[in-house]
Amino acid sequence: MTTEPAGLRERKKQATRRALREAALRLALERGPDNVRVDDIAEAAGVSPRTYNNYFSSREQAIVAAVIADRGSRVAAAVAGRPANVGLADAVIDAIVEQYAEPGEDARNALLMITTRPALRDAFIDAATAVERPLAEAIAGRLGETHDHTPRVLAASVAAAVHVALERWLQPAGASLVTDELVVSSGSLPELLRSVLAPLRPALDAAASAGTE
Amino acid sequence: MTTEPAGLRERKKQATRRALREAALRLALERGPDNVRVDDIAEAAGVSPRTYNNYFSSREQAIVAAVIADRGSRVAAAVAGRPANVGLADAVIDAIVEQYAEPGEDARNALLMITTRPALRDAFIDAATAVERPLAEAIAGRLGETHDHTPRVLAASVAAAVHVALERWLQPAGASLVTDELVVSSGSLPELLRSVLAPLRPALDAAASAGTE
DNA sequence: GGCACAACATGCGCGCACGCAATTTTGCGC
DNA sequence: GCGCAAAATTGCGTGCGCGCATGTTGTGCC
């Protein structure tokens, strides 16, 4: 299903893409992100600097992409893989939390580097938008063929909530607004994710029950 | 309430900001957006080019800002202004639709220009994110003092839905050729907005009823 | 196999975004 | 008024994003 044989053309493209993002991350970790120019990444990946920008539209994107990789499709697969008797809300929320649970040791200090540089931090947060499209298709699969905007909107909302969670999570110590209250940047990411996704539960449930009626 | 007297400092800043965005839009309409450099905008507004980037982080942002202006605070005000007996969902949805109903003749051909240039189109769509923060506060005001993430998440979801609507609205209908001009594919924007916001209704209602319990 | 075409890689050039440090303006207490 | 600290403006320099024109490589059709 997900195994497209694909032509030589497509395979080379994917190879170049992964070569670029891995080179970007490796160099950034070795010398620090500020001491890596686009030219260096391109050279390390064996392509011209101009070609780099055919794959990534910013320097930060490549570094972040190496950490995120294909989180989008993994989330989509996780949603699709949940048994049919669990509700849509649980399927989606569990899939998100599961895929954002941080794994490897190597990814951990990559994240450490990312969170310290504002530009990288922003790119990382924005990358959450990438789940929207695959997630929308997975949701559509569970809702049956509704050809309105519901799956897109739900997926976009979930992505937006994740966005909020990541912002909160990476916030150094926000200068609070009018009411300064003890806002602890707080607990684990999974916990935070469940917390921000909770308000969307009614919308997910409603869409699911509307689909099965 | 919203009328901060503000010091001279803040007033001059706002004046500069509006001078910049209005100059940007005017020049873009006069000569076409591709024939306007940031230096021109800065000069027309009477500031240095470097200062321009203290206010707007891209050339397109200023042009788009002139059309959007303070839609964020207008939406927030509209939400806050709805009588207390109408539900949160209706308050929010009506406020959004109302503020996105296109008014002036001048704004109309500005939109025409924006929709044709991809860079401007993207900037315009992304600008919908600006409603998030004011809307969150307005929602928080209606929900009473819940100090969890609910208002933020709901506002972000609404913004995301608007995002989807704008994408759909400005999409040149699939892989269309470059031949068209001003093709607004599907129905009216208000209609589209109500359609994409409908799936979020349960979430808004649930938050409201949880607040009043 | 060869040929026409489409997709991709590359070089060039132009503006642009932004960090940094120096300079001017604003707000405030005296 | 006076002076001083915070904030805003400005110039400069550097690297970057991308449109365009051109060379190169994979793909479908006969």
CA distance A122 to B91: 32
Query: What confidence score (pLDDT) does residue A179 get?
Result: 39
Tokens 């321009």 -> residue: B52
Sign of the torsion angle spanned by Cα atoms B109, B120, A152, B131: negative
Residues of B in contact with A195 (CB under 8 A): 148-149
CA distance B129 to A68: 23
| Burial (CB count <10 Å: 0-12, 13-18, 19+), residue B117 | middle
pLDDT band at B101 (very low <50, low <70, confident <90, very high): confident
Going by the DSSP 8-state scheme, the letter that residue A200 receives in this structure is G
By residue count, chain A amounts to 213
Query: What confidence score (pLDDT) does residue B211 get?
Result: 57
A71: amino acid identity, one letter? R
- Note whether B156 contacts A: Cβ–Cβ < 8 A: yes
Cα distance from A106 to chain B (closest Cα, Å)? 31
- Note whether A13 contacts B: Cβ–Cβ < 8 A: no
Tokens 């905008």 -> residue: B41
Nearest CA to A156 out of A173, A179, A140 is that of A140
Tokens 């002036």 -> residue: B104
Helix (H) or strand (E) holding B82: none
Nearest CA to A199 out of B127, B164, B139 is that of B139
Protein-contacted bases of chain C (C-beta within 7 A): 7-13, 15-20, 26-28
Query: What confidence score (pLDDT) does residue B172 get?
Result: 62
Q: Is the pLDDT at B174 greater than 70, yes or no? A: no
Three-state secondary-structure class, residue A58: coil
In terms of DSSP H, where are the helices of A1-58?
A: 8-31, 38-45, 49-55
Q: Is the pLDDT at A182 greater than 50, yes or no? A: no
Domains of chain A plus CATH, in order, are: 6-64 (1.10.10.60), 70-212 (1.10.357.10)
Query: What confidence score (pLDDT) does residue A107 get?
Result: 83
Scored b (16 or more CB within 10 A) or e, A42-74 reads: bebbebeeeebeebbeebbbbbbbbbbeebbbb
CA distances from A169 to A100, A164, B156 (A): 12, 8, 16
Whether CB of A38 is under 7 Å from strand D: the answer is: yes
% of residues, chain A, pLDDT over 70: 88
Q: Is the pLDDT at B105 greater than 90, yes or no? A: no
Q: Is the pLDDT at A13 greater than 60, yes or no? A: yes
Average pLDDT over every residue of A27-47? 96
CA distance A107 to A91: 25
pLDDT band at B79 (very low <50, low <70, confident <90, very high): very high
Q: Is the pLDDT at A4 greater than 70, yes or no? A: no
By residue count, chain B amounts to 213
Supply the mean pLDDT for chain B: 88
Average pLDDT over every residue of B8-30? 93
pLDDT band at A20 (very low <50, low <70, confident <90, very high): very high
- Best A93, A143, A152, A167 member to test B by mutation, with max B CBs in 10 Å, is A152
Supply the mean pLDDT for chain A: 89
Residues of B in contact with A197 (CB under 8 A): 153
CA distance B208 to B89: 8
Closest partner CB to A203 (pick from B163, B164, B202): B202
Query: What confidence score (pLDDT) does residue A32 get?
Result: 94
Whether CB of A142 is under 7 Å from strand D: the answer is: no
Rg (CA), chain A: 19
Question: pLDDT tens for residues A185-208?
Answer: 557 899 999 999 999 999 999 999
Average pLDDT over every residue of A118-122? 94
Return the closest nucleotide (C1') to the Cα of A40: D15
- CB within 8 A of B2, min separation 6: which ones? B73, B77
% of residues, chain A, pLDDT over 90: 73
Question: pLDDT tens for residues B146-162?
Answer: 778 999 999 999 999 99
Scored b (16 or more CB within 10 A) or e, A78-113 reads: bbbebeeeeebbebbbbbbbebbeeeeeebeebeeb
Q: Is the pLDDT at B92 greater than 70, yes or no? A: yes
Query: What confidence score (pLDDT) does residue B48 get?
Result: 97
In terms of DSSP H, where are the helices of A117-200?
A: 118-126, 132-143, 150-170, 189-197
Question: pLDDT tens for residues A56-92?
Answer: 999 999 999 999 988 999 999 999 999 999 999 999 9
pLDDT band at A7 (very low <50, low <70, confident <90, very high): confident
| A133 vs A109: which has the higher pLDDT | A133
